[in-house]
Homo-oligomer: A and B are copies of this chain.
Amino acid sequence: MTDFALHPRLAADSLAVTDLALCRVLLMNDSRFPWLVLVPRLAGAREIVDLPRADRLLLAEETDLAARSLRTLCPTDKLNIGAIGNIVEQLHVHIVARQRTDPAWPGVVWGFGSATPYSGAEAETRIAGLKGLLIQP
């Protein structure tokens, strides 16, 4: 994994939360939606179907952990989970805690308006909460 580098677009749009066994966990810097992005630290990875099976299953487990953690921390009517990558090719998985009252509901968040960055204190609180939940067995 020595060649892994986070895509600059993902780095610019997010705040680092923690590293799991496979994935870097990012909090999208958009206070409109509780929104995590998981990035496997595998240089050149682009499609889930092209991962070695062990990495693919570990990504599924880490997606599960991250989704449950986000739902524990934030009011959630529906989890939205997606691997898209049409704009940023580096493999990444979105996990969004949606509420019926959020501005994009019932549409998807991707491509919806412009991000509203967190204040420093808001970000710190959310990241600390996530770190306390994102514990691998």
Q: Is A68 an interface residue (CB 8 A)?
A: yes
Identify the closest chain B residue to A69 (Cβ).
Answer: B49
Cross-chain contact A67 with B79 (CB below 8 angstroms): no
Copies of this protein in the complex: 2
Q: A88 → chain B, closest Cβ, in Å? A: 10
Size category, A interface: 20 to 34
- Collect the chain B residues with CB atoms within 8 Å of residue A71's CB: 49
Measured between beta carbons, the chain B residues less than 8 angstroms from A105 are 86
**Cβ–Cβ contact A64 & B49, under 8 A:** yes
Task: Name the interface residues of A14-40: CB closer than 8 Å to any CB of B.
Answer: none
Determine how close the nearest CB of chain B comes to the CB of A92; give it in whole angstroms. Answer: 12
Are the CB atoms of A56 and B60 closer together than 8 Å? yes
> Is the Cβ of B82 less than 8 Å from the Cβ of A106?
no
- What 1/0 flags go to A79-109 for Cβ under 8 Å of B? 1111111110100000000100000011110
Q: Are the CB atoms of A83 and B81 closer together than 8 Å?
A: yes
Q: Does A78 contact B (CB under 8 A)?
A: yes
Q: Interface residues, chain A, CB within 8 Å of chain B?
A: 47-49, 56-57, 60, 64, 67-68, 71, 78-87, 89, 98, 105-108, 110-111
26 contacts between A and B (CB under 8 A): A47-B78, A48-B64, A48-B67, A49-B67, A49-B71, A49-B79, A56-B60, A56-B64, A57-B60, A78-B84, A78-B85, A78-B86, A79-B83, A80-B82, A80-B83, A80-B86, A81-B82, A81-B84, A82-B83, A82-B108, A86-B98, A86-B106, A86-B107, A86-B108, A107-B110, A107-B111
